[in-house]
Structure 1
Amino acid sequence: MNIHWIESFLAAAQYENFRKAASSLYVSQPTVTVHIHQLEKLVGTDLFERTGRKVVLTHYGREFVQHAESIYDAYHKGMVHMDRKVQGFQKEIRIAVSPLIATSYLPHWVKAFIKENPHTEVKVEVMESMLIGPAIDEGKVDIGISRMPVQSIGVTCRQIQSEKLVFVVPHDGREEENGSFVDYEEVLREHVLLTHNHPMYWDDVLLLCKRLLPGIREMKVSQVHVAKRFIEEGLGCSILPRSAVRREIAEGRILEAEIPKLDLPTVSTYILTKSPSEEAAAFSETILKLV
């Protein structure tokens, strides 16, 4: 049996049309027809009834679908398994991480882990912090690195670091040299405040900002990388974790300013695990050595 026969059969069963099945598989329609004929010959019965351009599964065809799906899944699982072995991987670790951590700390942590554990395959899934706890609890990933603490029975939540928030503004030709400073009131009058790009602090910080400067305009931008781009383009200002804007500030693409009357909180990073595997424990240990 050829796996391509199975692919063609499943596609034809889904679309009930050989032409559409061929298009989905990026092959010609005659190729699909030949595959189906070969499979029917092997099985010993018709799998489709043909009425013009449309094809419908026969009783035997419907019976065979679940077996074809099992064959297809087993084939690909086997190929993935062998590919990992050929690459030298003996173990794996599945990591769920928030977008902010994925673009700041994670590359450094993964690089250090791979150096010490070259035979462990690292799989990274980027998701919002609020989804990481459930992913850990349901066993979909081995370890989570989140910006939110989690209180769930069986899930261990460990705070590993804290950092300051900073007020960042467009460059707009401003200079911080020679004792000059950025007038935060002027900035907040000229620009919207880009908010809710972090899961924890924005409700409290926004309330403080509105008390400090009534009438402040805001724009909700849910992703930090989008908020940073908006600031670079002069579309707004924001309050972000220092790790998120360290490079942009160093390169002069945006400026760090102060709001003297505003006591900004700190934000933390958390490791989440549940019945941690050996690989998850090793990754946690790598992180703790670096923070």
Structure 2
Amino acid sequence: MHWIESFLTAAHYENFRKAASSLYVSQPTITVHIHQLEKLIGAELFERTGRRIVLTHYGREFVPHARAMLTTYQAGMSHMDKKVQGFLKEVRVAVSPLIATSYLPHWIKVFTKAHPNTEVKIEVMESKLIGPAVNEGEVDIGLSRMPIISNQLSCKQIHSEKVVFVVPHDGRDVESGLPIDAEEILSEQVLLTHNHPMYWEELLRSCKRLVPTIREMKVSQVHVTKRFIEEGLGCSFLPLSSVRRELAEGRMLEGELPSLELPVVSTYLLTKSPSPEAMTLEETILYLT
């Protein structure tokens, strides 16, 4: 970068002596830098006529690239200087939609209250994309519904919960006082499937053994699945955290299926060489779970 800086300064003054004075170095130092840069590029960058120098064709071609390199270098060093001194703190989190709408708000609320000077950036993405995002350094922490086996990433199981069978609240149970006949609902309603990346294949096979005539509709997002259930468009199996409020408010009901062994799902925390801020957030999440 010293070579680049010497080149741009000499190009500005068209004089090695003035360039040296501007950079507070000796004139031979400027000359050495220019020679080294010309050797690296493989072309002369200046024409020398006595004490005066002018850019060659190759020199003029190289000027905008040299400026871009110096600007990027200076911006990077300034950013890192602020980062190291604690003036610029941030943590980038990739999170699945389900976690983003259930546990994440509480975790982030606690963290930001304790660390108000740290900016938290949230990227909501499908669980299958979170591992690669952490591995490529696009984010500092991943919160996924899928485990990952990798020598490059740390994967910690931080929380587990049961899956529940949820059905629309159509008022019949309130009037009759009778328990929900889950098998009847499965035979009558559409089963909304594939809103979770882990458990649906085996669970769907079990449902079809129980009710061979079952009809299904693939809905990839949990929030869409819940909306469909509230509108009476079907039923589904969802992690308890995702429907806790809807069940408490009576917007949907939980059905029991004793003949089915419902799965347990987990949340996984993924990291790779985390920053100090990311480590602090990780500690906060582990404490809260």
Residue 218 of structure 1 is matched in structure 2 by 216
Aligned equivalent of 1:271, options 269, 272, 282: 269
Pick closer, same or farther for the CA change 1:260–1:115 going to 2, 3 Å: same
How far apart, in 2, do the equivalents of 1:64 and 1:231 lie?
63
Aligned equivalent of 2:94, options 85, 96, 103: 96
Q: Give the letter for the 1:257 counterpart.
A: G
Superposition pairs of residues 105-254 of structure 1, within 5 angstroms: 105-175=103-173, 180-254=178-252
Deviation at 1:154, TM superposition (A): 1.2
Pick closer, same or farther for the CA change 1:206–1:72 going to 2, 3 Å: farther
TM-score (norm. length: structure 2): 0.71
Deviation at 1:280, TM superposition (A): 1.2
How far apart, in 2, do the equivalents of 1:117 and 1:139 lie?
23
How far apart, in 1, do the equivalents of 2:252 and 2:118 lie?
39
How far apart, in 2, do the equivalents of 1:64 and 1:222 lie?
51
Q: Give the letter for the 1:103 counterpart.
A: T
Deviation at 1:180, TM superposition (A): 2.0
Q: Give the letter for the 1:125 counterpart.
A: E
Deviation at 1:279, TM superposition (A): 1.1
Structure label with greater radius of gyration: 2
How far apart, in 1, do the equivalents of 2:159 and 2:210 lie?
29
Gaps of 5+ in 1: 1-61
How far apart, in 2, do the equivalents of 1:157 and 1:185 lie?
38
How far apart, in 1, do the equivalents of 2:175 and 2:240 lie?
21
Pick closer, same or farther for the CA change 1:194–1:163 going to 2, 3 Å: same
How far apart, in 2, do the equivalents of 1:98 and 1:205 lie?
21
Q: Give the letter for the 2:117 counterpart.
A: H
Pick closer, same or farther for the CA change 1:210–1:66 going to 2, 3 Å: farther
Give SS of 1:149's match. coil
How far apart, in 2, do the equivalents of 1:95 and 1:286 lie?
14
How far apart, in 2, do the equivalents of 1:174 and 1:151 lie?
47
Q: Give the letter for the 1:164 counterpart.
A: K
TM-score (norm. length: structure 1): 0.70
Residue 43 of structure 2 is matched in structure 1 by none
Deviation at 1:103, TM superposition (A): 0.5
Gaps of 5+ in 2: 1-60
Alpha carbons 1:174, 1:182 under 8 Å: kept:
no
Alpha carbons 1:171, 1:253 under 8 Å: kept:
yes
Measured against aligned partners, the alpha-carbon deviations of 1:31-50 in whole angstroms (never above 9, x if no partner) come to: xxxxxxxxxxxxxxxxxxxx
Higher mean displacement: 237-246 or 65-74: 65-74
Residue 259 of structure 1 is matched in structure 2 by 257
What is the RMSD computed on CA atoms of the aligned residues? 2.9
Pick closer, same or farther for the CA change 1:194–1:72 going to 2, 3 Å: farther
Deviation at 1:247, TM superposition (A): 0.6
Alpha carbons 1:182, 1:257 under 8 Å: kept:
yes
How far apart, in 2, do the equivalents of 1:283 and 1:64 lie?
44
